[in-house]
Amino acid sequence: MMRAMQVAVAAGCSGALSAGVCYCLARWSGQLRLVAQPRPDRWHKRPTPNTGGAGILIACAAAYLLFANHGYGTVAACAGFVSLLGFVDDRVQLPPVAKLAGQATAAAVVICGGMTLNWSPWYWTNVVITAIWIIGITNAFNLIDNMDGLCGGVAAITAGSGAALAFLERDDQRTLLLTVIAAACLGFLIFNHKPARIFMGDCGSMFLGFSLASLAVSSAHPGASILESFYALPAFLYPIFDTTLVSVLRRASGKPVSVGGRDHSSHRLVSTGLTERKAVWVFWGIAGVCALCGPLAYNHPGRFIAVTTLVLAALTVLGSFLASLPGFGHSATAPVSRAHDLSP
């Protein structure tokens, strides 16, 4: 097994570099006009740098080149491409179909590299399932990037859970990569937790979603049972939950799912009078509970099924409650905030 010291050093480098680069970007991006402007469908009230994703990417790339021995090179290259696509979108607002095409291309390359979720006896069915998983999770993380600290915190929790599972599976490279991603998110959160000085933008949210989704696919090692390949999935339940809630409610009200809005689970919880910080902490807690399902029940199928079922039931009740709460329409007055919504 890889020495714990090497993982710790890689994580320390990633976190420190992420914090340092994000500090510089928060200070100078405004002068370069690399900012997210306030809009009716966004949550923040003043121009704010949205280049934090570049800080996360630079930190992860540096740690990867220094410590990872080129493991999971296809995932790393495709994640970098998706991050670049997000950076361009942050600048010129690409059409949703262009973003989807880029994500699909990157997912196809990962799948061609031999990574698939083997959930059926048929190869092409597994290919389709894997593509839907990678693209869906990439966009789910993009969607939860709607309030200060939310996406970065959830990504750190998800990566931490994945690192714990990778350690249990004795996958040194995946343990290191996921730990590095978690550390980069924590470095970014220093400047993103409310009141945020910088946002990650699509450059960061798409990079994190794609990386975490692809590395979760790689956990389904050859010869693994179908249940074993599910251990990594509960850590993604909060992004899936929020995406499902928003999609269903927008479709029910006749609104396009792809158009951003202030109607996410976080916004609905704030409508109860809870502060934004506390709303984010609530969802961090929920993400943390979901993330514990896999590592704590690893190699105990009955316990895993029982715990995951209870979590899903609780999320269903929460979803029903949040659906009864109002979002903030484009003409509504939202609480004064520097948080944002970069939903596609």
pLDDT at 223: 52
Own/partner pairs for 224-229, CB < 8 Å, 24+ apart? 224/118, 226/118, 226/119, 227/301, 227/304, 229/117, 229/118, 229/119
Residues ≥6 apart with Cβ < 8 Å to 28: none
The tokens 């990650």 sit on which residue?
Answer: 200
Q: Where are the alpha helices (DSSP H) in the chain?
A: 4-28, 52-67, 73-92, 96-112, 123-143, 150-168, 172-192, 201-218, 237-252, 265-270, 276-296, 301-323
Does some domain include residue 231?
yes
The tokens 């939903």 sit on which residue?
Answer: 343
φ and ψ of 328, to 5 deg: -110, 105
Does some domain include residue 211?
yes
Does some domain include residue 14?
yes
Cβ–Cβ under 8 Å, residues 334 and 328:
yes
What tokens appear for 108 in the block?
């196809």
Number of domains in the chain: 1
pLDDT at 338: 33
pLDDT at 332: 41
Does some domain include residue 133?
yes
Of residues 240, 206, 232, the one with CA closest to residue 78: 206
**pLDDT tens per residue across all 344 residues of the chain:** 557 888 999 999 999 999 999 999 999 876 777 776 655 555 455 678 889 999 999 999 999 999 988 789 999 999 999 999 999 999 888 999 999 999 999 999 999 998 888 888 899 999 999 999 999 999 999 999 989 999 999 999 999 999 999 999 888 999 999 999 999 999 999 999 888 889 999 999 999 999 999 999 976 555 555 667 789 999 999 999 999 999 999 888 877 776 767 889 999 999 999 999 999 999 999 999 999 999 999 888 899 999 999 999 999 999 999 999 877 654 344 443 333 333 33
Does some domain include residue 340?
no
Does some domain include residue 142?
yes
Does some domain include residue 185?
yes
Of residues 56, 231, 67, 25, the one with CA closest to residue 156: 56
pLDDT at 118: 84
pLDDT at 37: 65
DSSP characters for 82-98?
A: HHHHHHHHHHH---HHH
pLDDT at 34: 76
Q: Roughly what angle, to the nearest 10 degrees, separates helices 201-218 and 150-168?
A: 20
Does some domain include residue 342?
no
Q: Is 318 helix (H, G, I), strand (E, B) or coil?
A: helix
User: Could you tell me the pTM of the whole model?
Assistant: 0.90
Q: 85-133: per-residue pLDDT in tens?
A: 999 999 888 999 999 999 999 999 999 998 888 888 899 999 999 999 9
Domain hosting residue 287, numbered range: 4-323
φ and ψ of 63, to 5 deg: -65, -35
> How far apart are alpha carbons 36 and 220 in whole angstroms?
38
Q: Is 264 helix (H, G, I), strand (E, B) or coil?
A: coil
Q: 16-30: per-residue pLDDT in tens?
A: 999 999 999 999 876
